[in-house]
Structure 1
Amino acid sequence: MASPAGYLRRLTRRLTEDIEELDAEEMAESSHSTGALPVVECARGQEVTMYGRLRSVESCSRAAAAVVEAEFFDGTDSIQLVWIGRRRIPGIEPGRTLTVRGRVGERGGRKVIYNPYYELREPA
């Protein structure tokens, strides 16, 4: 059983810690519990399965080539997801939790996965 002092310490930490840090911590724990590879550990050329949340989603203008880009965050780091040939993907929107699979590449010094396989999830 937890001591009252331990409970108070955890409660104080929760009330005073930065919300983004707490969210990242919870997302990393959820990702770890699914057995997914953390983004921070994945390397170029590696086939990966990751669990996380979309922070932002952008689609191109009609004049440009059809592309949907999303920033995927799992609590440890972020990776860019790029779907080529699509202007919009139902369910791919900021705040959605998903599992993605694909091969890690690199673009402009950042990690990227082109045309990843994805499954929409409910938050764990």
Structure 2
Amino acid sequence: MLRLRLPQRLRRLLSSHQELVADELARDAIASGATPIAQLSQHQVGTAQGTVAMLTLNPRSGSAWLEADLNDGTGTLKLIWMGRRVIPGILPGVKLRVHGRISLHEGNPAVFNPGYEIVAD
């Protein structure tokens, strides 16, 4: 049994902090029943869970779009709320579970006006 555990321990020792955090995020997302972001397909309705990595306010045609990058350790999903400037509780570092139809925005996977819930750690 020690033989099987040694490579895993060695891998953890040699991994960077970012790799360890990404692994933990991916495990949490999968354990929650969410689909890993890397496996989401365009036009599919899906559920993803991860941490808000970045929040941006973009002006679009006279109204603002609130954009968040959700990272689950396997990839990044752009969340776009049209016509919103702020959503209480959604800040960088917050863990979210989101649901919606996957589309592409500027070549990247995105969900427009996703349903969401803030997940307690």
TM-score bracket, normalised by the shorter chain, equals 0.7 to 0.9
**TM-score in terms of structure 1 length:** 0.85
SS at match of 1:20: helix
Measure the CA separation in 2 of the matches of 1:64 and 1:110: 24
**Which runs of 5 or more residues in structure 2 are unaligned?**
none
Aligned to 2:51: 53
SS at match of 2:103: strand
Aligned to 1:119: 117
Is 1:89 aligned to 2:87, yes or no? yes
Letter paired with 2:97: T
Measure the CA separation in 1 of the matches of 2:91 and 2:73: 18
Aligned to 2:63: 65
Q: Deviations over 1:29-88 (max 9, x none)?
A: 001101111111111110001111110001135x94221000001111111000001011
Matched residues, number: 120
Aligned to 2:20: 22
Measure the CA separation in 2 of the matches of 1:34 and 1:119: 13
Measure the CA separation in 2 of the matches of 1:84 and 1:102: 14
**TM-score in terms of structure 2 length:** 0.87
Same amino acid, percent of matched pairs? 35
In angstroms, what is the RMSD of aligned CA positions?
2.3
Measure the CA separation in 1 of the matches of 2:88 and 2:27: 27
Provide runs of 4+ in structure 1 moved above 2 Å: 12-16
